[in-house]
Amino acid sequence: MSTAPINPPKVRTREEIAARVKALEAIMIEKGIMTMEAVDRLAEIYENEVGPQLGASVVAKAWTDPEFKARLLRNATEACAELGIGGLQGEDMVVVENTDDVHNVITCTLCSCYPWPVLGLPPNWYKGPQYRSRIVREPRTVLREDFGLDLPDSTEIRVWDSSSEMRYWVLPQRPAGTEDLDEKALAALVTRDSMIGTGQPKAP
């Protein structure tokens, strides 16, 4: 039985996105749904307090601190709380580690459960029924054809199904040649997709 490939959302320019955001802001403020101060605060939260940069900082610490890494793999929610990271949609998180032999990828087959405190807002494709169904049935094909991640046949791919009770995310492998980098520099290599399992960290 053949299935159609995931169709990525149309790529829009920064100008188009900015115009849409401004229009939505104006409508919400005009109708009294939100104030300008609330809009600014919401933008600040997702720019500086919640998002993939927080997950990247957790990954970088795990790469440099073996004891923290052990705590993260044992109880991700508690380990992230040590760094002041947690909250709504992150009450029960589980981190799974990529190795030379195993590559992990996450999904939510029922809806779009996602660890917001460390990864920010879920991308549109993560919420789409095509990804949610196909990644379970044919993960190697989806990773290769839709994300350009071509893994060796010898690598085992494990798919983890998040739920409202348990949200998974991936600890990617530390890239080679990063032995001399500090945590800040390492965090800059960590991508959102590498923590979902549909990509790899950037090369140094």
Binding annotation for Fe(3+): 108, 111-113
Active-site residue among 112, 162, 163, 164? 112
Q: Which of 97, 103, 198 is nearest to 143 (CA)?
A: 198
- Which residues make up each annotated binding site? 108, 111-113
80 catalytic? Reply is: no
CA dihedral 190, 193, 199, 202 (to 10 degrees): -20
- 113 labelled catalytic: yes
What is the rounded CA–CA span in Å between residue 50 and residue 114?
13
Closest CA to 89 of 111, 69, 62: 111
Task: Tell me which of 2, 57, 80, 111 is the catalytic residue.
Answer: 111
56 bridge partner residues: none
Question: For 3, which DSSP code?
Answer: -
- Please return the burial class of 11, using the count of CB atoms within 10 Å of its CB with bins 0-12, 13-18 and 19+: exposed
Catalytic: which of 57, 80, 113, 162? 113
Residue of 57, 108, 162, 194 marked active site: 108
Q: Which positions are annotated as active-site residues?
A: 108, 111-113
